Structure 1
Amino acid sequence: MSLCKPNHLQDLCISIPPSSDYDHLYRNMNALDCLMYEHGSLKTVKLVAHRSSASYGDASRARVGWILNRPNHHLERFEVSAYSPVIFCKMRLWKIQLDNLCILKIAVDGLSVNDADILRGLPALTALSLYVEKSPNIKIIFGTAAGFTALQYLKLRFMSGIAWLRFEADAMPNLWKLRLVFDAIPQMDQRLDLYSEPGQWKQYRHGTALISIDHMTGLREVSAKFGGAAADLKYVSRIGVVSNHPSNPIIDVQLVDSGSRGDKR
């Protein structure tokens, strides 16, 4: 990557072609990291996938993990295409000051309770889209602790497995659109062992909710999509894997093509 150093650069959009050379890709990302740090005037950074990146998970293509550890006080929009070879990792190591960040759309290697706490610390965040590579095996609770006060749009897509989630009442007071996508589905004969508390495994019992959504006063639209067989989707709908407060909008439960990354908001 060879970029000049223009003054007052505000918007940056880079197309990333697929590559099998990890070192080359790693150097490019380091160069971009430095560029973002040096240009304090940057407001928008977008990494889009090259049009030849038609498939996801090709073993012949290199992928690189990226950690946000440089402050950028003016950045308002940061989007990385889910088709790109860039995945964000070790969120616990992020040392960021992104007080003006409004839109964040990235792929992450996982999602933990600590990760959720880091994200809730972004005070201006209004739209958040996460593509989660590995589903957490511990219950993630979005509670009423400080944070997420500006969030209006939330999309969580889990690329493998199923997640155990709870949204407590008014945890996100201004949220109006919630989209949950799972590329897996609890099968009729499937046992799920999930982590409920540190040091304590708990087996998921069919007939209880994996996803619980308490009353969220501003919510206008909520959807849950699952990848799997149509018969399993009917089973999920019947046993109530998703629990939704009656005052919330009715959940639109659908079957989704697991091969689609669904980049559109």
Structure 2
Amino acid sequence: MSLCRPNHLQDLCISTPPSSDSDQLERSMYALGYLMYEHDSLKTVKLVTCGSSVSYGDASRARVGWILNKPTHHIQRSEVSPHSPVVFCQMHRWRIQLGNLCILKIALSELSVHNVDILRGLTALTALSLYVEKSPNVKIIFGTGAGFTALKYLKLRFMIGIAWLRFEADAMPNLWKLRLVFDAIPQMDQRLELYSVCDQWRQYRHGNALISIEHMTGLREVSAKFGGAAADLQYVSRTGIVSNHLSNPIIEVKLVDSGSHGDKR
């Protein structure tokens, strides 16, 4: 990527081919980080991908982990296509560097408790979309502590497995829309005892939902999508993998890229 020094640059959209060489991608991301640091007029950064039909998570594609290591307080919107080979792997300095960020759409190598704490510290954040490569092995709790007070839209997509999530009451007081997507689903012909080695499946086997949504007063729309067969979706609905407070909107349960199914609260 060749960079000049344009004056008063506010919006930047960069196209990356999905088959880019890893070394080339690393150089491009370093150059982009430098540009974001140097141009304090820059407000929006988007990375899109040529040939977006390439499936997310394709192991044959070159990939690069992007670490923001320079202050970029002026950035308000950052979006990286889920088809992009760019994946964020470290977020430890984001609270210092991205204090004015309002919209964030990125892919993460994993979602950890530490990452959630960092995102909670982005006080201006109103819309958050995360594409997570691997589901966490521990429960992720969105608690009622400080943070996420401005958030109105949240989308979490897990490309492998089903995450163990809990949204505590009023954890996100201004949240309007909550969208959860899992590219997996417990199959009706699989005995849950097979998963007893994992804490989350032990909890599920003993009647506790893997995904728990307590009363969120501002919530207007909530949906959950699962990758799998229609029979498996009906099985999941019966066994209560998702627990939703009665005062919340009814969850719209769907198969990924399929029609919706009504679900009990």
1:132 and 2:132 matched: yes
1:38 and 2:38 matched: yes
Aligned 8 A contact 1:71 1:95 in 2: no
1:41-56 alignment, distance < 5 Å: 41-51=41-51, 54-56=54-56
Pick closer, same or farther for the CA change 1:110–1:52 going to 2, 3 Å. Answer: closer
2:261 aligns with none
What is the alpha-carbon distance in structure 2 between the residues aligned to residue 53 and residue 32 of structure 1? Answer: 24
Moved segments of 4+, more than 4 Å: none
* Secondary structure of 1:109's aligned partner: strand
| 1:51 shift after superposition | 2.7
The AA in structure 2 aligned to 1:217 is T
| 1:145 shift after superposition | 0.8
Q: Gapped runs of 5+ residues in structure 1?
A: 259-265
Taking only the aligned residue pairs, the percentage that are identical comes to: 78
Matched residues, number: 254
1:212 aligns with 212
Q: Which moved more, 1:32-41 or 1:129-138?
A: 32-41
Q: TM-score, normalised by structure 2?
A: 0.90
* Secondary structure of 1:45's aligned partner: strand
1:105 aligns with 105
| 1:195 shift after superposition | 4.6
| 1:61 shift after superposition | 2.1
Pick closer, same or farther for the CA change 1:117–1:180 going to 2, 3 Å. Answer: same
Pick closer, same or farther for the CA change 1:20–1:48 going to 2, 3 Å. Answer: closer
What is the alpha-carbon distance in structure 1 between the residues aligned to residue 234 and residue 52 of structure 2? Answer: 36
Q: Gapped runs of 5+ residues in structure 2?
A: 259-265
What is the alpha-carbon distance in structure 2 between the residues aligned to residue 76 and residue 70 of structure 1? Answer: 15
Aligned 8 A contact 1:18 1:53 in 2: no
1:243 aligns with 243
Deviations 1:3-45 (A, max 9, x none): 1111111110001112252111111111111111111111000
1:107-256 alignment, distance < 5 Å: 107-188=107-188, 189=190, 190=192, 191-192=194-195, 193-195=197-199, 202=202, 204-205=204-205, 207-256=207-256
| 1:144 shift after superposition | 0.6
What is the alpha-carbon distance in structure 1 between the residues aligned to residue 20 and residue 42 of structure 2? Answer: 30
Q: Which has the higher helix share?
A: 2
Deviations 1:176-223 (A, max 9, x none): 100000000122324334457xxxx95541643110000000000000
* Secondary structure of 1:91's aligned partner: coil
Aligned 8 A contact 2:52 2:83 in 1: no
Q: TM-score, normalised by structure 1?
A: 0.90
2:80 aligns with 80
Pick closer, same or farther for the CA change 1:108–1:74 going to 2, 3 Å. Answer: same
Aligned 8 A contact 1:20 1:60 in 2: no
Aligned 8 A contact 1:106 1:129 in 2: yes
The AA in structure 2 aligned to 1:113 is V
Pick closer, same or farther for the CA change 1:64–1:74 going to 2, 3 Å. Answer: same
What is the alpha-carbon distance in structure 1 between the residues aligned to residue 34 and residue 147 of structure 2? Answer: 29
